[in-house]
Structure 1
Amino acid sequence: MSIVEPAAGEPRRPHGPRDPGDAWVVAADGTKYWGRYGAAGLLAVDEARGVLLQKRVGWSHFGGTWGIPGGALHQNEAPAQGAMRESQEEAGVPDGSVRPLLTSVFDLGIWSYTTLVAVVEKSFEPVIADPESVALEWVPTAEVAQHELHPGFASSWPMLQSVMNVRPVVVVDVANVMGATPNGWWKDRAGAANRVLDSLAELARSGVAASALQVGGTRWFAPVIAVLEGEARAASDPAGITVARASGSGDDEIVAIVEAEAARPGAIVHVVTSDRGLRERVVALGAVTHGVRWLNEAARD
């Protein structure tokens, strides 16, 4: 592997000095990949209009093809953050207009590309904001393959298309999770519940491993619903997850939540509990169940 600075006319930051990430990574066979620290892009999914595609300017790598807004990561920049920054620089994607759904990583060891798939929650019109775009269009999903696609995007599109309408959700039986660890939780149920909720909030922030959900991609930003009962209901509400406090039976509350969530389009409901009776009830509603140890699998890289 070697690093090569861009030649005249090749991509650079639209404003200010060139970032050190703006360079080619050259593999042993001579293949060039843009971005010293890897690259990332945004696949914005609008239920009404399709996906946002960018036609690349002729002088760029694979110029004239269609792909997604994206580019080189900055040093120490998280890929999802870089994907959003690049989409704002290249397509004017407004802050708060999309909700992250999943990431998919193509990793060569010497270089990687992260696709952030995000659902449009506030409709917007893309704007050509730098010289790297010839056109920006909302393209119906069924028509994407009819375009001349960037080779990297073309190879990833079938998998991305297969999962972009999937909506996993994780429902956690907190009482069961607490009971699985004999750490004196019964002495302070609210405190023990807080520790579980904090770990679930971290899982929601970092994303659930796709392998744990048995779907494509790399990590999913699946909604997490934690159900509390009894004295544990006094626990706090950490940011990033939904806390449901059962007025009676926690099992009954979980069943009601599963029934409601399973009715949403594309939903796959994952219930974390080792309680056999509860598992039978939610499986009957179409949920997938996991024991408490699954949370470790879900959090792994």
Structure 2
Amino acid sequence: MPDIEQSDPGPSTPLRTIGVVGAGVMGVGVAQNLAQTGHRVVLLDLSDHVLAAARAEIERNLRFHGFFTKQKGGPPPAEVLERITFTTGYAPFADADFVVENATEKVAVKQGIYPVLDEVCPPHACFAANTSCISITRIGGWTRRPDRVLGMHFMNPVPLKPVVETIRGFYTSQGTIDTALRFLGQMGKEGIVVNDLPGFVSNRVLMLTINEAIWEVMDGVASAEDIDRIFVTCFGHKMGPIATGDLIGLDTILYSLEVLYDSYNDPKFRPCPLLRKMVDAGLHGRKTGRGFFDYGVPAAGASAAA
């Protein structure tokens, strides 16, 4: 059993400054949502180029894409942007009351982040791993505060999604869960608490669905367009599984399947060779401008930390 420093965050713990690790698609959405709901945000990535792209993306969303927020008459874009500090160093996280980590779905990448957060952040700070599949209990073991580590599986686009899959690790305390639900409430969201097994609820099902749809493309059962049309028209889904994979990022789909395959030793999670080929070719979906479908201009640059 790890040496846990017991210091449960209570209901009076302020949540003023929020650290966000990773300025990729998810990190940008989380930072924007937080700033729009009045939080001070520290957004970290390893690259100034990625941070510049993230700032431009947030500004573009605020100015030209009003559908990214349901709140009419909200603060002007300049005021929202002023609440976000963009940084390539962890020092500003010394003021963070809560941290949302959005690094890429690779254990080696995430494992390097948490000991640094543990060292820099104040003792009361909770860490939320925005992960699709990686065990929260395992992540908590990389810190001296596993009781204050939990999972928050945000959905894309973050400002539009009202519910967050919230994962309790083996050592996650009830005080941390309560703080996390209060934190999500401040963002205008509801947390649904689930237990910790790789993939949790949503991605144990979703990754299989997307992967199997890609297998159907590779096997010549149907085109990507027709597969998605069946799901949209027959089942009433807003988006088919192939387009959903492009939205999430085909690289993220691949990494998630690899984690699930390693975690369960179950061949049903074996990534489709066509998926791996497309990731190798740099066709990652919307964020690169092309996946199974063409999207034109790529989204904000791929995050170095996420």
TM-score (norm 2): 0.28
Q: Which structure shows the higher helix fraction?
A: 2
TM-score (norm 1): 0.28
Higher relative contact order (CA 8 A, sep 6+): 2
Q: Which structure shows the higher strand fraction?
A: 1
